[in-house]
Amino acid sequence: MRTIVPLIVALVLTSTAFAEIKSTSETTLDFDKFERGKTPADFSTALTGGGGPVSWVIQEDSTAPSGGKVLAQMSTDKTDYRFPLCVYDKATAKDVEVSVKFKAVSGKVDQAAGLVARFQDKDNYYITRANALEDNVRLYKVVGGSRKQFAGVKAKVSSGQWHALKLEVKGKHFAVFFDDKLLFEADDDTFKDAGKVGLWTKADSVTYFDDLKIESYDPQ
């Protein structure tokens, strides 16, 4: 019994990077104030890889977790190595917790939804993503436009249903949550500087997003 208790305590203490730290800034976006059919103000779109233009616009969805509007990636280009991005321009952070609700709507090549952190430019950032065709959640770094996985697990990701995805980044430590459960943790120190956060999809994924929440833990 004496050897088991310390192990349990250690798991609890490391299950979330920010358990006992107060955030220095917090932003929540439900997209209801933005005009339908347009990219919301304060966001910029980008593309890693090839293929045609991305299409990040406000759509109406009566099933949305908050209100009736969502931010949707609508382009259906089937280029496999193609990652549409929508970056929030008003927040830059190194240590950050970012979460979102998402629904995979369609896609034959992929049905993916992702969260971006420490975004430097369209070819350099961290990304965690959930995939409804593969039923897994993975953590990547994109370096010079090349995507490299450094952690991930199998998880049931249902199409046409709302799910919750969260990424915590503190120093070189990462924690990934899916539907409010901690899935895995990992370490990487490729990108040490602060960067923007945002949303991500792959190939022909049509994906809806709602309730984007960004909490910075950087010292003021």
The 8-class DSSP code of residue 205 comes to -
Q: Which residues pair with 143 in a beta bridge?
A: 146
Within-domain flag for 15: no
Q: Which amino acid is at 86?
A: C
| pTM of the predicted structure, to 2 decimals | 0.91
Predicted confidence at residue 20, as pLDDT, reads 65
Domain that holds residue 94: 24-216
Report yes or no on 186 lying in a domain.
yes
Tens digit of each residue's pLDDT (9 = 90 or more) over 58-93: 999 999 999 999 999 999 999 999 999 999 999 999
Whether the per-residue pLDDT at 15 is higher than 60: the answer is no
* CA 83 – CA 91 distance, rounded (Å): 21
Looking at residue 9, its pLDDT comes to: 34
Quote the pLDDT of residue 11. 37
* Helical ranges in 70-147 per DSSP H: none
Is 11 part of a structural domain of the chain? Answer: no
State the pLDDT at residue 218. Answer: 80
Q: Find the range with the poorest average confidence among 8-22, 67-81, 124-138.
A: 8-22
Which domain CATH number covers 119?
2.60.120.560
Query: Residue 140 domain-assigned?
Result: yes
- Please give the full DSSP string across 90-102, using - where no structure is assigned: EEEESSEEEEEEE
Mapped onto helix, strand or coil, the DSSP state of residue 10 is helix
Q: What is the pLDDT of residue 129?
A: 98
pLDDT value at 44 more than 70: yes
- Whether 181 is covered by a domain: the verdict is yes
- Give the pair of three-digit tokens for residue 159: 């199409």
Q: Is residue 3 part of a domain?
A: no
Q: Is residue 192 part of a domain?
A: yes
Q: How many domains does the chain have?
A: 1
Q: Return the pLDDT at 4.
A: 38
pLDDT of residue 23: 78
| Within-domain flag for 33 | yes
Structure token pair of residue 205: 């994924």
Q: What is the pLDDT of residue 17?
A: 64
pLDDT the model gives residue 14 = 45
